[in-house]
Amino acid sequence: MATGIQGPPVPGPSVVRVPLILNERKLNWITDRISGVVEDRTPFWWWVAFCITSPIALFGLFCIGYQISTGVGVWGENIPVGWAWDITNFVFWIGIGHAGTLISAILYLTRQRWRTSINRSAEAMTLFAVICAGIFPGIHVGRFWMAWFLAPVPNQYGIWPNFRSPLLWDVFAVSTYFTVSVLFWYTGLVPDLATLRDRATSRVKKFFYGLFALGWRGSNRHWRHYEMAYLLLAGLSTPLVLSVHSVVSFDFATSLVPGWHTTIFPPYFVAGAIFGGFAMVLTIMLPMRFIYKLHDVITPQHVDKMCKIILLTGSIVGYSYAMEFFIAWYSGNAFEQAAFLHRAFGPYKVYYWTMISCNVLSPQIFWFRYCRHNIFIVYFVCMCVNAGMWFERFVIIVTSLAQDFLPSAWHVYHPTWVEIWTFIGTFGIFLSLFLIFMRYLPMIAMSEVKLVSPYADPHYHAPDAQAGAEPHQP
């Protein structure tokens, strides 16, 4: 060609991507801003928040102690409603965890670079949510000291647990999920702990951050293995997160209870988990972003994308609700039909329609760009989804059990104060842990955020020579 070699075509303004970090922040701005959250004096609001959440957590623990020491009769559940708030709360919390793993693993594999601003706190949220979830299966067995029956060891008669039972699958799934999440989270933390170690001013801080930073020094020979390990952990966590809520749904789906015995449960539960989890991520992240002025790192683009995921998964959940009804009608199974009519028009109808309006209707306003960019609307919808997902689990569990095959056993379940406060207590535990996390650990993955800034590109040449760094004092 006569024109010779030409450079790549310059993209027009409509094609250029919105940067993930606004205002062209330099690398050390990122370090200062995010480490500053940990290094500055504990703010007053933090103490206020912690003084609210920690007594709630302690009262929740008291309720657990009361239930264990007195007996499971302090709860309102009774045959046929053998599972009620306990398992509702378990599924609720474990579902919340899924958003963190989705962000850290699935969005990593699909190269969604915007994940870097939110993955750290979402992963922390996963861990704390799984801790809250793990409480309930332990205490709902009634005799807590027999919880070791869940472990794969023979009991005093030499009988092993039934490995073909979904309840045992659940033990393995949840404990694996927690362990792998901890490993993944810690691996991601190591470079950032090294940053905090290098910035530490007191000996105590230097010792502890140094201890957990493992002597990390940003060597490329280390990064090479680190990136491979991170990729593999993401690759392992992706099927894991899909399996965990599938296994949770098997607890229900493999039984013969009408309303539970359906093949749609695994995908329906996984979509619901991600849906509820993203709402919780936004619930926690939006106040943090406001308090610590992190608007350049967690940009409107991030919120917008999370809202789109909520819209997508919320629509899948809505489709699943509709499909359950359709199959109940189409199967011609009288018990199945009765169970679903009972859900929508029986004594629990308030729960059911709350669930529908929170989970199916409220996210639909995210079709509008204005609603995805208005923080107050986003926050309101997230609160609806948080509530709606709890109601969903309650509706699935309790309505199916309360009216079972034997009409003489039918009764309407009501929780006692112990159940209610155990649940509220888990919120105290969750929020207290999160507050402690944000005081001591960087809540945004600094090394990963730096990676998506233009300065990380080895072929980037800034107009000014001092591109990556601000001028330093010698």
Partner 1 sequence: MAEPRKVYGLGAEFPTAAALFHAAEKARDKGFKRWDVHSPFPIHGMDQAMGLGKSWLSSVVLMGGLSGLLTAVVLEFYPSSIDYKLVVDAKPVTWATVPAFFPIFFELTILSSAFAAVGALLLFNMLPKWYHPLFNWERFARATDDGFFLVIEARDPKFSETSTRQFLEEIGGTHVTLVHD
* Cβ proximity to partner 1, 219 vs 408, nearer residue: 219
Q: The tokens 């299966």 sit on which residue?
A: 137
Q: Among 2, 51, 159, 350, which residue interacts with partner 1 (rule: CB under 8 A)?
A: 159
Residue 306 phi/psi, 5° resolution? -65, -40
Whether the CB-CB separation of 402 and 30 falls below 8 Å is answered with no
CA distance 78 to 413: 8
Q: Which of 14, 69, 202, 220 binds partner 1 (CB under 8 A)?
A: 220
DSSP assignment of 32-43? HHHHHHHHSPPP
Q: Which of 194, 101, 107, 131 is nearest to 441 (CA)?
A: 194
Report phi then psi at 194, rounded to 5: -65, -40
For the segment 7-46, give every residue that binds partner 1 (CB under 8 A): 26-28, 31
Q: What is the DSSP letter of 160?
A: P
Residues 187-206 that bind partner 1 (CB under 8 A): 187, 191, 194-195, 197-199
Residue 248: how many other CB atoms lie within 10 Å:
29
Determine the Cα–Cα distance for residues 401 and 413; give it in Å rounded to an integer.
10
Angle subtended by helix axes 119-140 and 265-291, to nearest 10: 130
Which lies closer to partner 1 via its Cβ, residue 194 or residue 398?
194
Residue 211 as a binder of partner 1 (CB under 8 A): the answer is yes
Minimum CB distance to partner 1, residue 250 (Å): 8
Q: Per the structure block, which two tokens stand in for 395?
A: 């509706």
Using CB under 8 A, count the residues that bind partner 1. 78
User: Which is nearer to partner 1, 66 or 223 (by Cβ)?
Assistant: 223
Q: Is 232 one of the binding residues for partner 1 (CB under 8 A)? A: yes
Question: Residue 375's closest CA among 273, 288, 453, 272?
Answer: 288
Q: For residues 254 and 337, which CB has a smaller minimum distance to partner 1 in the complex? A: 254
Q: How far is CA 263 from CA 5, 250, 255, 321, 404, in A?
A: 58, 9, 11, 13, 20
- Candidates 52-60, 117-125, 301-309, 466-474 — which segment interacts with partner 1 by CB under 8 A? 466-474
User: What is the closest distance, in whole angstroms, from the C-beta atom of residue 160 to partner 1 in the complex?
Assistant: 4
**Closest residue by Cα to residue 209 from 225, 188, 191:** 191
Kindly state whether residue 158 participates in binding partner 1, applying the rule CB under 8 A: yes
Give the residue, chosen from 179, 331, 369, 412, that forms a contact with partner 1 under the rule CB under 8 A: 179
Binding status of residue 180 toward partner 1 by CB under 8 A:
yes
- Of 89-97, 296-304, 413-421, 463-471: span binding partner 1 (CB under 8 A): 463-471
Considering only residues 421 through 450, tell me which ones interact with partner 1, judged by CB under 8 A: 446-448, 450
Position among 49, 61, 435, 456 found at the interface with partner 1 (CB under 8 A): 456
Min CB(155)–partner 1 separation in Å = 10
**Spatial distance between the Cα atoms of 132 and 430, rounded to a whole number of angstroms:** 7
Query: What does DSSP assign to residue 9?
Result: P
Site string for partner 1, 389-428 (x = CB under 8 A): ----------------------------------------
- Among 229, 322, 341, 412, which residue sits at the site for partner 1 (rule: CB under 8 A)? 229
**CA angle at residue 81 from 77 to 85, to 5 degrees?**
55
Tell the smallest beta-carbon distance from residue 38 to partner 1 (Å): 14
Least spacing, CB of residue 327 vs partner 1, in Å? 23
Q: Does 164 bind partner 1 (CB under 8 A)?
A: yes
Residue whose CB is less far from partner 1, 167 or 435 = 167
